[in-house]
């Protein structure tokens, strides 16, 4: 049988360039390569609520933003099943059973959860739902029998717990669930795109993002004020490329053809970097090039988003249809899970027959 691929995002904000290079671009490629039998992409609103319980409106509003980002970036509901996590009750059901197969101390050892607890100042008061989200994530993955989960480095601990839970489930109840593998981003820039301020990570809370939905003026404002080399004061000064956000973005987004098109002074990025290092190349020129490249990439995405925004009810219909399709797989796996766990009382004619025999002959 062909392989299944599954991945999701917490709908806590619009998607930005970091999401694009880190995951979205790859997902569209994977979708179009057609090597996988099934592909699921979902909005993890249940998980988002584990640390936003008091702000459901934020999650609700971002469901549609993320859906528009997905579709405008090229995810195609004909090729990939897009759904909303909370609308699959089977996920809650499977989570309940998986929780019996893992200990509190095992979940406590999860380094991603540890960091998140610190970041959110949850130390004294960890919401139980938040604490359990790695188990719920294991349900997300296993309910759809995903073989491959494209995700960032920070999701490795979730995949480890998932694999342990699969082994535990299968050895306890029978072979039902599938052990997934993580598919990490292909290179360093894809793993972590810095913010426009040069900080380690592009992130909404740091206010250093370029959003897929930013218009051309906004992109230029952001690119123009981007962090470069703080010691590169005059055009003639030698400059540093490493840690210079403009060059990191050029690494992530430019190709040789862009030079012929926008900056024929150089054949490729290496030549341009050499000039910057020697001195004599100004930041503005670099930023203008980056701006052209970003806008060429973002223009079709923005146009498509604008078209999609004209029919919002249809976007909800796409999500509804995706969710219905996802539930078919979910129901199928849950039947197998209930059979294996012997909690299929009403569907097991043999059980009813045996029990009536037993009580007759008692
Ligand atoms: N934890 C992921 C994130 O924070 C989102 C997520 C939830 C997910 N369930 C998943 C990712 C299942 C991959 C597979 O981005």
Domain boundaries, the chain: 4-193+311-353, 204-308
What does the alpha-carbon distance between residue 190 and residue 210 come to, in Å, rounded to a whole number? 15
CATH number assigned to the domain with residue range 4-193+311-353, chosen from the 4 options 3.40.50.620, 3.30.70.2970, 3.10.450.50, 1.10.3720.10:
3.40.50.620
270 neighbors 241 (Cβ within 8 angstroms): no
What does the alpha-carbon distance between residue 152 and residue 112 come to, in Å, rounded to a whole number? 11
Check if 15 has its Cβ closer than 6 Å to any atom of ligand 1. Answer: no
Q: pLDDT at position 120, please?
A: 85
Is the CATH number 3.40.630.30 carried by domain 204-308? Answer: no
Q: For residue 83, report the distance from its CA to the centre of ligand 1, in Å.
A: 13
H helix count then E strand count, the chain: 18, 5
Instruction: Give the pLDDT of the chain (362 residues) as one tens digit per residue.
Output: 799 999 999 999 999 999 999 899 999 999 999 899 999 999 999 999 999 999 999 999 999 999 999 999 999 999 999 999 999 999 999 999 999 999 999 999 999 999 888 888 888 889 999 999 999 999 999 999 999 999 988 899 999 999 999 999 999 999 999 999 999 988 877 788 999 999 988 998 899 999 999 999 999 999 999 999 999 999 999 999 999 999 999 999 999 999 999 999 999 999 999 999 999 999 999 999 999 999 999 999 999 999 999 999 999 999 999 999 999 999 999 999 999 999 999 999 999 999 999 999 98
Q: Three-state SS for 39?
A: strand
Question: Each residue of 339-355: b (16+ CB within 10 Å) or e?
Answer: ebeeeeeeeeeeeeeee
What does the alpha-carbon distance between residue 354 and residue 351 come to, in Å, rounded to a whole number? 5
Q: Whose CA is closest to atom 2 on ligand 1?
A: 9
Q: Whose CA is closest to atom 14 on ligand 1?
A: 7
Q: pLDDT at position 160, please?
A: 98
Check if 151 has its Cβ closer than 6 Å to any atom of ligand 1. Answer: yes
CA torsion, ordered 232, 236, 238, 243, to nearest 10 deg = 40
Count of CB atoms situated within 10 Å of the CB of 83: 25
Q: Whose CA is closest to atom 5 on ligand 1?
A: 9
Q: Provide the whole-model pTM.
A: 0.94
Q: pLDDT at position 37, please?
A: 96
Check if 9 has its Cβ closer than 6 Å to any atom of ligand 1. Answer: yes
Ligand 1 atom index nearest CA of 152: 15
Q: pLDDT at position 304, please?
A: 97
Ligand 1 atom index nearest CA of 136: 9
What does the alpha-carbon distance between residue 233 and residue 236 come to, in Å, rounded to a whole number? 8
Do 4-193+311-353 and 204-308 share a fold? Answer: no
Check if 228 has its Cβ closer than 6 Å to any atom of ligand 1. Answer: no
Q: For residue 10, report the distance from its CA to the centre of ligand 1, in Å.
A: 7
> Ligand 1 pocket: which of 8, 162, 181, 201 to mutate (most atoms <8 Å of CB)?
8
Q: For residue 7, report the distance from its CA to the centre of ligand 1, in Å.
A: 6
Q: pLDDT at position 200, please?
A: 86
Q: pLDDT at position 187, please?
A: 80
> Ligand 1 pocket: which of 69, 119, 158 to mutate (most atoms <8 Å of CB)?
158
> Ligand 1 pocket: which of 22, 26, 44 to mutate (most atoms <8 Å of CB)?
44
Q: For residue 180, report the distance from its CA to the centre of ligand 1, in Å.
A: 13
Q: Whose CA is closest to atom 9 on ligand 1?
A: 137
Q: For residue 19, report the distance from its CA to the centre of ligand 1, in Å.
A: 13
Q: pLDDT at position 124, please?
A: 84
Count of CB atoms situated within 10 Å of the CB of 278: 11
> Ligand 1 pocket: which of 4, 5, 9 to mutate (most atoms <8 Å of CB)?
9
């Amino acid at each position: 049988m062909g392989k299944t691929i599954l991945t999701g995002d917490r709908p806590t904000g619009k998607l930005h360039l970091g999401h694009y290079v880190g995951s979205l671009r790859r997902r569209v490629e994977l979708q179009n390569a057609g090597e996988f039998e099934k592909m699921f992409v979902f909005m993890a609103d249940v998980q988002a609520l584990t640390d936003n319980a008091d702000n459901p409106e934020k999650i609700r509003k971002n469901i549609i933003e993320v859906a528009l980002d997905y579709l405008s970036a090229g995810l195609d509901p004909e090729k990939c099943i897009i759904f909303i996590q909370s609308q699959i009750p089977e996920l809650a059901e499977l989570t309940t059973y998986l929780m019996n197969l893992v200990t509190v101390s095992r979940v406590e050892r999860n380094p991603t959860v540890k960091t998140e607890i610190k970041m959110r100042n949850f130390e004294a008061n960890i919401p139980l739902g938040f604490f359990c989200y790695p188990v719920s994530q294991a349900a997300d993955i296993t309910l759809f029998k995903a073989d491959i989960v494209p995700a960032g480095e920070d999701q490795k601990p979730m995949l480890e717990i998932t694999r342990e839970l699969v082994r535990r489930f299968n050895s306890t109840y029978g072979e039902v669930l599938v052990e997934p593998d993580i598919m990490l981003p292909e290179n360093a820039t894809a793993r972590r795109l810095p913010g426009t301020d040069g900080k380690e990570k592009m992130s909404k809370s740091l206010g250093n993002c370029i959003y897929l939905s930013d218009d051309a003026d906004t992109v230029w404002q952001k690119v123009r004020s981007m962090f470069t080399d703080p010691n590169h004061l005059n055009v003639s000064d030698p400059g540093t490329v490493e840690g210079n956000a403009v060059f990191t973005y050029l690494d992530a987004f430019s190709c040789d053809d862009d030079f012929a098109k926008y900056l024929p002074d150089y054949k490729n990025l290496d030549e341009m970097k050499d000039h910057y290092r020697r001195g004599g190349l100004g930041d503005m020129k670099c930023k203008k090039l980056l701006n052209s490249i970003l806008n060429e990439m973002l223009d079709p995405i923005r146009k498509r988003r604008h078209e999609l925004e004209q029919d919002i009810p249809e976007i909800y219909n796409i999500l509804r249809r995706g969710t219905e399709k996802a539930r078919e797989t979910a129901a199928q796996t849950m039947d197998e899970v209930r059979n294996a766990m012997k909690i299929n009382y009403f569907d097991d004619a043999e059980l009813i027959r045996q029990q009536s025999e037993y009580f007759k002959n008692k």
